[in-house]
Amino acid sequence: MLAKLESLERKFLDLEKELSSPEIFQNQEKYKKLSKAHAELQEIVQTYREYKTVLDQLQESQELLKDGDPEIKKLAEEEIKNLKTSKSDLEQRLKILLIPKDPLDEKNIILEIRAGTGGEEAALFAADLFRMYSRYAENKGWKVEIMEAHETGTGGFKEVIANISGKQVYSRLKFESGVHRVQRVPATESQGRIHTSAVTVAILPEAEEVDVHIEPNELRIDVFRSSGPGGQSVNTTDSAVRITHLPTGLVVTCQDEKSQHKNKAKALKVLRARLLQLKQEEQKKELDQSRRAQVGSGDRSERIRTYNFPQGRVTDHRINLTIYNLDAVLEGELDQVIDPLIQHFQTEALQKEASL
């Protein structure tokens, strides 16, 4: 591990030298590439330098143990105890930082939320989840853009699709894919009985044209008039767009914008994300069938979380995490759920690395 860290620090210093060269500003493309590589190494190099400082301090404190003064010896023993704890913490942190990065972590996402079993109550909870993710995005400084929404008459969503863009969106939300279950008394329930409903959430990394190539002859594009709730026409022009990907049969519609051109662009963005997901799923099957059962598999049929209103709790079934802070979670304070999930994944990745 130390040899790897030394190599990364040398690379970091070489990048700093290149970035300080006046000639680099004449080639903006190269400058951006080097700046990105430098930024990616910054955290691990800073942590490694902190680790080396702790090792030096530990050696100095161990030398003080030889001092004849009992007071100095006692202080050195206390310092050694603290430094050994810091050393252990930094070693764990460095191991995590050395785990190969998911190349998709930096990507924006397409968020898809669909009401499942539970009728209108499921649609209302789909709206609650969309609000939760929107609040979380707002807290992170991300941008949320609705791409397609099918509302119900009571303020719920049969389906809502949104683009969330910002810094490391996919890395934070990639474990949210799956079935989210809600247990509560619906407003329409006169007997006060608790109902269980389900909503599916899909987190798709946004795909660029370089990630997924689509031939024009693979698409069938239909245009039609947009319609609102109840089927009434909300547009007098054929601005809504339906795109069918002929090889896979995937169909995407978009009628959120008044412009046909904008609707087509949005629909293509969603289509590319879904095709990238298909591509990833095929690769996962080829690599290891058992991976589908692990955290982060993205399997939409997997029940991942329960939101229990009477008890005010949220339970993530994958890591047996229960939090009695439901209101705060639904207000977008999702880090208390997401951070333990990421930590669990990192621990699993470390175990895999150690077994190789």
237-274 residue pLDDT tens: 678 899 999 999 999 998 877 788 889 988 998 998 99
- Residues with Cβ within 8 Å of 149's Cβ and at least 6 positions away in sequence, in order, are 157, 159, 160, 161, 256
pLDDT at 210: 60
Residue 302 pLDDT > 80: no
Is residue 254 helix, strand or coil? strand
Q: Are 310 and 194 in contact (CB under 8 A)?
A: yes
213 touches 141 (CB < 8 A): no
The larger pLDDT score, comparing residue 131 to residue 344, is at 131
How large a percentage of the chain has pLDDT more than 90? 48
Domain ranges of the chain: 2-97, 109-210+290-351, 216-282
Which pLDDT tens digit goes with each residue over 68-92?
Answer: 788 888 898 999 999 999 999 999 8
- CATH fold of 109-210+290-351 reads Alpha-Beta Plaits (3.30.70)
Query: Residue 12 and residue 6: Cα distance in Å, rounded?
Result: 10
CA neighbor of 220 nearest in space, from 197, 241, 204, 191: 241
Q: What is the DSSP letter of 156?
A: -
What does DSSP assign to residue 233? B
- Indicate the pairing of strand 178-184 with strand 303-308: parallel
Structure tokens belonging to residue 259: 């412009």
CA distances 200 to 13, 81, 116, 144, Å, are 47, 49, 6, 19
> Residue 356 and residue 354: Cα distance in Å, rounded?
6
C-alpha span between 280 and 107 (Å, rounded): 15
More confident residue, 109 or 279: 109
Residues facing 322 on adjacent strands: 315
Model confidence band, residue 294 (pLDDT cutoffs 50, 70, 90):
very low
pLDDT value of residue 97: 82
Dist. CA 313–CA 307, nearest whole Å: 6
Lowest-confidence pick of 15-29, 86-100, 276-290, 307-321: 276-290
Phi, psi of 313 (to 5 degrees): -125, 155
216-282 folds as Double Stranded RNA Binding Domain (3.30.160)
What pLDDT score was predicted for residue 292? 39
Q: Is the dihedral of CA 172, 175, 177, 183 positive or negative?
A: negative
The predicted pLDDT at position 283 comes to: 67
β 313-316/303-308 pair status: antiparallel
Q: How many CA atoms lie within 13 A of 343 on its CB side?
A: 10
Q: Are 314 and 117 in contact (CB under 8 A)?
A: no
Q: Which two tokens stand for residue 307?
A: 């939101």
Confidence of residue 306 (pLDDT cuts 50, 70, 90): very high
pTM, 2 dp? 0.69
The length of the chain is 356
Segment 213-234, tens digit of pLDDT = 888 899 999 988 776 544 444 4
Structure confidence by residue, pLDDT tens digits, 183-192: 999 876 767 7
Residues 119-135: pLDDT tens digits?
Answer: 899 999 999 999 999 99
166: tokens are 């910002």
Q: Cα 172 from chain centroid?
A: 3
pLDDT of 24 > 90? The answer is no
Q: Quick one: pLDDT at residue 284?
A: 67
- Going by their DSSP bridges, the two strands 240-245 and 219-224 should be labelled as antiparallel
